[in-house]
Amino acid sequence: MSNDALRARYASVLERVAAAVAAAGRRPEEVRLVAVSKLHPAEDVAETAAAGQVDFGENYVQEALEKRAFLRERGLCADVRWHMIGHVQSRKAAQVAGAFALVHTLDSVKLADALERHMPDGAVQPVLIEINVGDEPQKAGVPAAEAAALAAHVQEKCPHLALEGLMCLPPVFDAGEAARPYFARLRRLRDALRAECGLPLPHLSMGMSGDFAAAIAEGATIIRIGTDIFGPRPPKK
Ligand SMILES: *Cc1c(COP(=O)(O)O)cnc(C)c1O
């Protein structure tokens, strides 16, 4: 995509996000936009960062690290914060631990332990627990009923992980208001978990291109937008 087209799309997303935040009676600083750049070239990340975007989300560990290296070598995007929003296999934990501002997709005790083991001394990795909010059999994320046990494990056994909230991908895609009950469910689960474990759990990572307004209305603090900023994704090679 041309840089002009990319900047226009980005500006339009910022406007629509601001409108949704205002419509929900919330303050702009309560909602952080993560630009989801998976499968898009590092040049588009650099251009969007030059336009002022700080947070970028990637789904694949290798691609994320390669893009980060590409930008670093060119002295670009020193301020960029990288988010891991895709499934992380435990055997990749060494590459992920400490490499991302936030890991949105903690989904097992095994992964928590693997990340914990690979964290450098004195460092802390912020994480969110991914909840399978639609109780779909094949979907990533822990069932809502198991969230408290995983949270307790992180709290008790993983001093190098900081649990900051919950993330979800609802079963309906690009369906706007239809996703809203799932966002409400994630918020209620977070509130219950907060009371149970005593952590503040400030973050709800929910809402994508097709449904971010509904997510913001239900309390999202982090929205993850790819297509509306970068255009349709090229196929994964
Ligand atoms: C790809 C992806 C997004 C972005 O989705 P769009 O519909 O392109 O905005 C958000 N969250 C996760 C977890 C993703 O994998």
Assigned token pair, 187: 């918020």
Range in 10-14, 137-141, 173-177 with the lowest mean pLDDT: 173-177
Q: Give the closest residue to 207 by CA, choosing from 33, 87, 27.
A: 33
Q: What are the backbone angles phi and psi of residue 204, rounded to the nearest 5°?
A: -120, 110
40 within some domain: yes
Taking CA atoms only, the protein residue closest to ligand 1 atom 10 is: 224
pLDDT in tens, 82-103: 999 999 999 999 999 999 999 9
Q: Which residues line ligand 1 (CB under 6 A)?
A: 36, 38, 59, 85-86, 169, 208-210, 224-228
187 within some domain: yes
Q: Round to whole Å and give the CA distance between 19 and 26.
A: 10
CA distances in angstroms from 192 to 88, 134, 145, listed in the order given? 26, 18, 11
Write out the residue range of the structural domain in which residue 225 sits. 3-230
As for how many domains the chain has, the answer is 1
Judged by DSSP in three states, 80 sits in coil
Rounded to the nearest whole angstrom, what is the distance from the C-alpha of residue 226 to the centroid of ligand 1?
6
The CATH number that applies at residue 77 is: 3.20.20.10
160 within some domain: yes
The answer to whether the pTM exceeds 0.95 is yes
Q: Round to whole Å and give the CA distance between 83 and 101.
A: 6
Whole-number pLDDT of residue 77: 72
198 within some domain: yes
121 within some domain: yes
> Cα-atom radius of gyration of the chain, to the nearest Å?
17
Q: Round to whole Å and give the CA distance between 172 and 59.
A: 19
Q: Helical H runs in 81-230?
A: 93-96, 109-118, 147-157, 180-197, 212-217, 227-230
Rounded to the nearest whole angstrom, what is the distance from the C-alpha of residue 225 to the centroid of ligand 1?
6
Q: Round to whole Å and give the CA distance between 237 and 190.
A: 36
Whole-number pLDDT of residue 152: 97
